[in-house]
Amino acid sequence: MWKWLHPYANPEVSYHFAGKLKPWLGLSSALLLTVGLIWALLFAPADYQQGESFRIFYIHVPSAILSMSIYLAMAIAALSSLVWQVRLADASAAALAPIGAVFTAIALLTGAAWGKPMWGTWWVWDARLTSELILLFLYLGVIALHNAFDDKQMAGKAAGILALVGVINLPIIKYSVEWWNTLHQGPTVSKLGAPAMASEMYWPFVLCFFGFALLVGAVACVRFQTEIITRNKMRPWVRNLVTSEVN
Amino acid sequence: MNPRRKKRLTIVLSVLTGLGVVSGLVLYALSQNIDLFYKPSEVHYGKEDTGLKAQIGQRLRVGGLVVPESIVRDQDSLKVSFRLADMKMPISFSEDDPMITIKYDGILPDLFREGQGIVANGTLMDGFIINASEVLAKHDENYMPKELADGAGEKHSKPSYSKEQLEGSY
Amino acid sequence: MQFDSFASFLDMGGYAFYVWLSFGASAALILLLIFSTLFSHKNARANIARQVKREQRLQQAQAQANVSESTSQ
């Protein structure tokens, strides 16, 4: 496996690989999100209790799931950077943190705007909401540490340790609704077996979820490229690359 | 120490203290929430695990299901009172269950209805009455289109308010 | 289609404020992420290019200095 992985651990190869990947990810994300969001806003049926406010679901749930998946990916990258000293893993962890922070913020904001009319409050200090807020602080801490050091390797180490410590928060978020008496309800779509909703409500969710996930991939590719060239700015291939006009 | 190291140290320390303070506050908030959370039967007989009884005049959180046909709304203000019972599976209500009465003056959340799970914050009064300052509705994980819900005999209409009621409270 | 008219679509069954707040804030945050990502990538490339040019100029100046030094002798 290491032999097979070896060429991808080369910054130049990875840079061009990410460059090849990003238009495909971007295009398919734009396509899925256009269809998914139009479906969600115009054609999906309203909920019998929540009415049209149910449409917030189509942003809230995908971004909440992604906020946790991105953190997991970032933590795995941080671990491989700390243990096996894969320099590129560090670059990808740094690339993922701001994306995760944005999706966590979206999950929190849309949750508040949904909670106000339905529950009767913008915010409550219950386990689910609080642990998701901590996730946002973890992301901000990781971003701050990545920027705190001029030496990118030191920065990666500090941020990586924080990212790994923060992993404990992920099961807390996921199981908070079962372990504590929270105002937030249990999961609708991540249950094994059938989702707790009708199929005409479920399909637009699937499209929106993969649309957002592919968007994360596309943005991650560009940020990964940025991280690679700033970390390798003394290398001849980077110098040739930036002085030529091609991407 | 050179300034760059100093800056780096400050950032690392502030991130760490920030996270520490946040998690401390959170644990405190959660334990408060759990300590002050009572089910209607626990208001009557004391907490299940500790036997602790709520004192009259004490602030507490209660959670339970709205007892059907117990909702009384004032005609010209937002005042409302209803009874809460413990949630049990399968959902059923009987007159013998320990119940508490919630009195509230404010707009109810849109999910409020008979049989709905409710969390209320307020002060305990004599006669198992709670003067609530906040009433929150809990939702389950199920969503259903209206047509499907009609077929299953499920109905919901959000609380509506007349002009007099909305004006009467000011 | 769940809505009879454009007005009722905008009204979102009375939840207009909350629904459009959610969609608007999310769109704003995502667009901000995309543009800042593209901007910082461009910026990083430009910075390195500038540095390369500066070094090339320095090298040229040095080479010229060497040449003039050798011819004057």
Indicate the domain borders of chain C. 6-72
Distance CA A151, CA A144 (A): 14
| pLDDT tens profile A117-176 | 999 899 888 888 888 999 999 999 999 999 888 888 888 988 998 999 888 889 888 888
Q: Is A132 helix (H, G, I), strand (E, B) or coil?
A: helix
Instruction: Enumerate the β-bridge partners of residue B141.
Output: none
Mutate to test the interface with C, among A42, A61, A242 (most CBs of C within 10 A): A242
Alpha carbon separation from A30 to A24, A42, A217 (Å, rounded): 10, 18, 12
Residues of A in contact with B4 (CB under 8 A): 150
| DSSP state at residue B149 | H
Distance from CA of A226 to the nearest CA of C (A): 5
Query: Are A51 and B34 in contact (CB < 8 Å)?
Result: no
| pLDDT tens profile B4-40 | 777 777 777 787 788 788 778 777 777 766 667 788 8
| pLDDT tens profile A159-180 | 998 999 888 889 888 888 877 7
Instruction: Tell me the pLDDT band of A56, cut-offs 50, 70 and 90.
Output: very high
Q: What does pLDDT average to over chain B?
A: 81
**Predicted pLDDT at A222:** 97
In this predicted structure, the answer to whether residue C2 has a pLDDT above a threshold of 60 is yes
C 20-49 residues with CB < 8 A to A: 21-23, 25-26, 29-30, 32-34, 37-38, 40-41, 44-46, 48-49
Distance CA B44, CA A223 (A): 59
Q: Are C12 and A52 in contact (CB under 8 A)?
A: yes
In sequence order, what DSSP letters do the residues of A17-77 get, joined into one string? HHHHHHHHHHHHHHHHHHHHHHIIIIISPPBTTTBGGGGGHHHHHHHHHHHHHHHHHHHHH
Mutate to test the interface with B, among A43, A47, A48, A135 (most CBs of B within 10 A): A48
| pLDDT tens profile C20-47 | 999 999 999 999 999 999 999 999 999 9
| DSSP state at residue B119 | E
Q: What does pLDDT average to over chain A?
A: 88
Residue showing tokens 């049990």: B88
| pLDDT tens profile A201-221 | 899 999 999 999 999 999 999
Distance CA A109, CA B154 (A): 30
B66's enclosing H/E stretch is strand B59-66
**Predicted pLDDT at B76:** 83
**Predicted pLDDT at A246:** 54
| DSSP state at residue B143 | B
Distance CA A58, CA A61 (A): 6
Of B83, B82, B86, the residue nearest B39 (C-alpha): B86
Neighbours of B142 (CB within 10 A): 17
In this predicted structure, the answer to whether residue A72 has a pLDDT above a threshold of 50 is yes
Closest alpha carbon within chain A to B140: A185
